[in-house]
């Protein structure tokens, strides 16, 4: 298949581009706006690859999207392009509505008009909101609580409406918290790993007892590929790792693998509207033949090792725009924070 991956220079997108090319079954066009977390270093090994093309463009730009779909005779679209960080959505909600709702709408409509055979929307388990007990199923009602998850929910609903209204063959995947190499170090795991390597404090929100279901990026991309190949048009598929952990436990495991002291943990002022727990039921996708392969301990160990051996990759990021963001997000919190055990 000739596949257009949007946001292919980001974390999940770049792993997906590599995976699709490695399968030998696809030509891949990667469209990415290269905003702060899009990083061509993630794709440096693909320079000159015969079945890979990169286009610097925005999914909100209908004219460019139209010509890419036409010029490359695209058969399938996988939309990974998104603003994805909850904390940033609290600082700047407008950019989330623009990319995650309007951009998705532009890409969707251009794909429909171009006669694309499959449109897969990469979404998130956050659209179900905070789930205190049990596990969210695909047909559960949506209850997003942050500008990020509300924008993703808007995008999902728009995508699904194209199946109902036009019978346009859409698919939606809702992934849980994903981790692995090449993740922009604003997210919990890469932030904590890289701070710990530098002997800097780890800012743990609230009581540290929030729970997430951790999914290795390879397992997430395998799930997306599986849905692309085998999913039912119009259907939603949850993709979770089955590794529900408290944030404090994850922080301690990271410190353990790095041989660093627990005193690096700082309990800091909580994220506004912080969702207590996400948990999804993945039996639909398991029934289709996918299952996660990476154990949490092994996944974290190899991820920690990757950041330990790729300091040039993340130090370049952490010395740029990230610095201003970090000071705004954490400066005061860390001054007022409480050390673990104190």
Please list the active-site residues. Answer: 125-126, 148
Cα separation, 299 vs 150, whole angstroms: 29
Measuring CA to CA, how many Å separate 258 from each of 136, 144, 221, 252, 262? Answer: 34, 35, 27, 10, 11
Nearer to ligand DAU, 43 or 191 (CB): 191
- Kindly report the number of other CB atoms within 10 A of residue 133's CB atom: 6
* Positions in 290-319 near ligand DAU (CB under 6 A): none
CB of 259 to ligand DAU, least distance (A): 21
- Kindly report the number of other CB atoms within 10 A of residue 145's CB atom: 16
Nearer to ligand DAU, 117 or 325 (CB): 325
Stretch that binds ligand DAU, among 22-30, 94-102, 123-131, 289-297 (CB under 6 A): 123-131
Nearer to ligand DAU, 75 or 140 (CB): 140
Nearer to ligand DAU, 121 or 247 (CB): 247
Note whether 84 binds ligand DAU by CB under 6 A.
yes
CB of 205 to ligand DAU, least distance (A): 4
Stretch that binds ligand DAU, among 158-166, 203-211, 299-307, 310-318 (CB under 6 A): 203-211
Cα separation, 43 vs 290, whole angstroms: 26
Quick one: which of 210, 214, 290, 314 contacts ligand DAU (CB under 6 A)?
210
Measuring CA to CA, how many Å separate 172 from each of 68, 103, 166? Answer: 22, 16, 16
Say if CB 127 and CB 138 are below 8 A apart. Answer: no
Say if CB 16 and CB 22 are below 8 A apart. Answer: no
CB of 271 to ligand DAU, least distance (A): 6
Note whether 203 binds ligand DAU by CB under 6 A.
yes
Say if CB 6 and CB 80 are below 8 A apart. Answer: yes
Cα separation, 297 vs 172, whole angstroms: 28
Two tokens, residue 13: 């997108």
* Positions in 239-268 near ligand DAU (CB under 6 A): 247
Nearer to ligand DAU, 30 or 151 (CB): 151
Binding site for ligand DAU (CB under 6 A): 84-86, 124-126, 176-177, 187-188, 191, 203-205, 210, 212, 247, 271, 278
């Amino acid at each position: 298949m000739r596949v257009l991956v949007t946001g292919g220079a980001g974390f999940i997108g770049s792993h997906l581009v590599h995976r699709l090319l490695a399968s030998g079954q696809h030509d891949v066009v990667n469209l990415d706006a290269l905003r702060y977390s899009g990083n061509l270093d993630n794709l440096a090994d693909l320079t000159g690859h015969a079945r890979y093309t990169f286009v610097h463009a925005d999914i909100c730009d209908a004219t460019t999207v139209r010509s890419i779909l036409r010029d490359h005779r695209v058969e399938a679209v996988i939309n990974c392009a998104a603003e994805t960080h909850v904390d940033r959505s609290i600082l700047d909600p407008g950019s989330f509505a623009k990319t995650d709702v309007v951009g998705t709408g532009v890409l969707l409509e251009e794909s429909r008009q171009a006669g694309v055979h499959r449109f897969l929307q990469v979404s998130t388990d956050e659209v179900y909101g905070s789930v205190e007990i049990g596990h969210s199923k695909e047909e559960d009602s949506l209850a997003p609580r942050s500008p990020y998850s509300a924008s993703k929910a808007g995008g999902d609903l728009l995508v699904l409406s194209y199946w109902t209204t036009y019978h346009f063959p859409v698919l939606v995947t809702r992934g849980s918290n994903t981790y692995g190499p090449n993740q922009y170090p604003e997210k919990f795991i890469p932030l904590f790993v890289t701070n710990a390597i530098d002997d800097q404090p780890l800012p743990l929100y609230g009581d540290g007892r929030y729970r997430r279901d951790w999914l290795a990026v390879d397992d997430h991309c395998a799930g997306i590929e599986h849905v692309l190949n085998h999913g039912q048009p119009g259907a939603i598929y949850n993709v979770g790792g089955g590794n529900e952990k408290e944030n404090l436990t994850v922080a301690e495991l990271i410190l353990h693998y790095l041989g660093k002291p627990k005193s690096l943990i700082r309990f800091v002022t909580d994220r506004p509207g912080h969702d207590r727990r996400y948990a999804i039921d993945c039996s639909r996708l398991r029934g289709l033949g996918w299952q996660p392969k990476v154990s949490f301990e092994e996944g974290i160990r190899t991820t920690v090792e990757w950041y330990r051996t790729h300091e040039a990759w993340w130090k370049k990021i952490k010395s740029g725009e990230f610095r201003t963001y970090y000071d705004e997000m954490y400066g005061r919190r860390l001054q007022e924070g409480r050390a673990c055990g104190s």
